A and B are shown apart, each in its own frame.
Chain A
Amino acid sequence: MRTDRASEIIRLLGQTSIPSSENISAFSLNKTDCTQVVVPEEVFFTIAAVGILENLLVLIAVIRNKNLHLPMYFFICSLAVSDMLGSLYKTLENILIILCKMGYLKPRGDFETKMDDVIDSMFILSLLGSIFSLLTIAADRYITIFYALRYHNIMTLKRALIILAAIWTFCAGSGIAIAIFSHETAVVISFTILFPLMLIFILCLYIHMFLLARSHAKKIASLPTSTVHQRTNTKGAITLTIFLGVFLFCWAPFVLHILLMQFCPHNPYCACYMSIFQVNGTLILCNAVIDPMVYAFRSPELRSTFKKMFCCTRSNWK
C-alpha cells in the first residue's frame, strides 16, 4: 500500500531536482485549496518514542516475571509487539526523511523503493497484528468467563503460542500481499471490511460478557444483606466504551483515508479529508501509547512487576 508518508520520501527526492517555477505552472492550485495539515516531526518522534518505550516495558515485565507466563499475558504481549511495530514504522520513516534532508540517501534508488515496500508491509503487519491481538484478548476473556471451569484445559500455554504464531504468520503474509497489490480495489475493500467486522465481533463478545456480569450483579444485589450499587454496572459500561472508543478513534480515520484514496482521489471533499493524513498517522501512534494503559496496566500483577523493576533500578543507583 502506498501510504502517503512513505512515498513522500521518494517524491521528495524526486521533487528537489524540478525547479520551483515548473511546479507552479504545472499545478494551478486554487486559493481555497485544502493544504495539508502538518504535524511537526518533534511531535511524531516524541509520541513514537513514548509508545515504543511503554510497550517495551510491558514486554520486559512479562518476560521477567514468571507469574505472568500465562496465555492472557502472551496475548497482551502480542498487542504490545504490534503497537511497537507501528511506532517503529513511524520512527523509521522520520529517520529516512531526515537522512533525505541531509542528502545521505540516493534518490530513486532501488534501496529506497525497497525500503518503501518494507516499511509499508511493516505498517500493515502492525495494523493487522493489532486488530487480531485485540480479538484474541477478547476471546480469551470470553473463554475465561463462560468456560471458567475448563479454561485451563481449553487455553493451554502451548495452544496460545500456536494461535499467536498462526496469527502473526497470517498477518505477515497479508501485509506483504497487501503492500504488493495495494492498487487493486479488491484488496482495499477486503482490508476495509476486515476492520468493522473485527470491531463488531469484539463488541459482541464484550457485550455478552457485560450482560453476564450485570445479571450476576443483580443476583448478588438480591441477596438479603448485600448492598451492591448501580455504579458497578456503570463502571462496566464506561470500561467497554473506553475499549470501543480507543479502537475506533485511532483506527477509523486511517481506514477511511484508505477508502477515499482508492475511490475518490479527485473529489474536493475527499481531498480535504486526505489533507489531514498526518493527524491520522499521529492518532495511530497515540493508539500505541494508550493501548498498554487500557489493557496491560490494569493488571495488578503487571503493575507490581513494574514497581519492583523501578524500585530495583533506583536502589541500584543508590
Chain B
Amino acid sequence: MSMHRLSSNRTSQQALSNSDYTWEYEYYEYGPVSFEGLKAHKYSIVIGFWVGLAVFVIFMFFVLTLLTKTGVPHQDNTEPSEKRFRLNSFVADFGRPLESDKVFSRQIAEESRSLFHFYINEVEHLDKTKRSHKTPGLDSNICFQEVPRSSGRFEEELNCLTKFNIPNFVNTDQNSSLGEDDLLISEPPIILESKSVIPASHQILN
C-alpha cells in the first residue's frame, strides 16, 4: 500500500510541530492531478450531485402528494372492519402524549358510531318491512309469518354485527398486552390528522 512506500523514505525523527500539521490525502501520492484543460467547472460533480439529490427528494414529495389527490385504487385484501380497527389504532398520534388513551377511545366510539348507524339502518329497514305487512287482529300469524321471512335477514344482521364487532372482540382478546402498549405498537410513521376525527366524535358524544 502507499503508506508503506512512504515509510521507507522516512527519517527517524518523530517530533511534531504545529506548523507541519496539515491535512493531506493519502492518495495524492499517486501523482499530481492536473487541473488544466477542464471543460466544465471543477466542482461540477459536487454541484450536480447535490442538485440531483434535492430534485429527487422534491420529486418524491410531489409524487406522494399527488398520490393522495388522484386516488390510485388500492386493492385491500382484508376485511373492512379489520382495517378500520387498524386505522383507528394508528391514528393515535405522535403529537398528543396525554390524550392518547382518549383518542383511542374516541376512535372506537367513532367506529361504533358508524357501526351503530349501520345497525340502525338495518333495524329501520326491518321495521319498515314488518309494518308494511301488518294487518289488525292477525298479529300472531303475522309474527309467525314474519319470523321465517325476517329470520334470514336477522341472521344476516347478526353476522354483520359480529363481523363489525371483531375490532372490539380483538381488543378484549388482546387485553394481556393492552393499554398504552397497543397504541405504541401500532404507531405508524405516518401522521394522520386525528384532530378532524376528534371534533366529529365530539359531536356524536355530546
Contacts and interface: CB of A to CB of B under 8 A. Distances in A.
B27 A303 contact: no
A7 B76 contact: no
Contacts of A228: 193, 196-197
B190 A210 contact: yes
Contacts of B43: 34, 272-273
Interface centre among A235, A300, A301 (most CB of B within 10 A): A300
Interface residues of B toward A: which range?
Answer: 35 or more
A191 B191 CA distance: 33
Given A214-B67, A300-B100, A266 B33 contact: yes
B14 to A, nearest CB: 6
Interface string A131-161: 0000000100100110011011000000000
Given A30-B35, A230-B68, A240-B189, A225 B203 contact: yes
Given A34-B42, A70-B181, A266 B53 contact: no
Contact of B193 (A12, A152, A235): A235
B129 interface: no
B177 A152 contact: yes
A272 B40 CA distance: 12
Nearest to B83: A216
Contact of A148 (B86, B100, B181): B86
Interface stretch (B3-11, B131-139, B142-150): B3-11
B85 A148 contact: yes
B46 interface: yes
B68 A233 contact: yes
B35 A17 contact: no
Nearest to A36: B23
B18 to A, nearest CB: 7
B126 interface: no
B30 A266 contact: yes
Nearest to A235: B191
Nearest to A28: B32
Contacts of B33: 33, 266-268, 271
B32 to A, nearest CB: 5
A101 B21 contact: yes
A32 B42 contact: yes
B97 interface: yes
Contacts of B17: 16
A212 B13 CA distance: 68
A92 interface: no
A299 B187 contact: yes
B184 A72 contact: yes
A103 B74 contact: no
Interface string A7-43: 1101111111110100000011110111010100000
A229 interface: yes
Contacts of B189: 138, 141, 206, 209, 239-240, 243
A240 B96 CA distance: 20
B157 interface: no
A237 B61 contact: yes
B57 A248 contact: yes
Interface in A215-242: 215-220, 223-241
Interface string A258-281: 001100011111111110100000
A8 B26 contact: yes
Nearest to A249: B53
B67 A227 contact: no
21 contacts: A11-B6, A14-B3, A17-B10, A18-B11, A68-B184, A148-B85, A149-B170, A216-B84, A216-B86, A227-B200, A232-B193, A234-B68, A238-B61, A239-B189, A239-B191, A268-B33, A268-B42, A269-B40, A276-B46, A298-B94, A299-B94
Given A241-B60, A273-B43, 6 more contacts: A4-B26, A16-B17, A207-B64, A235-B193, A241-B64, A301-B97
Interface of A: 2, 4, 7-8, 10-18, 20, 27-30, 32-34, 36, 38, 67-68, 70, 72-73, 100-103, 106-108, 138, 141, 144-145, 148-149, 151-152, 183, 206-207, 209-220, 223-241, 243-245, 248-249, 252-253, 256, 260-261, 265-274, 276, 298-301, 303-304
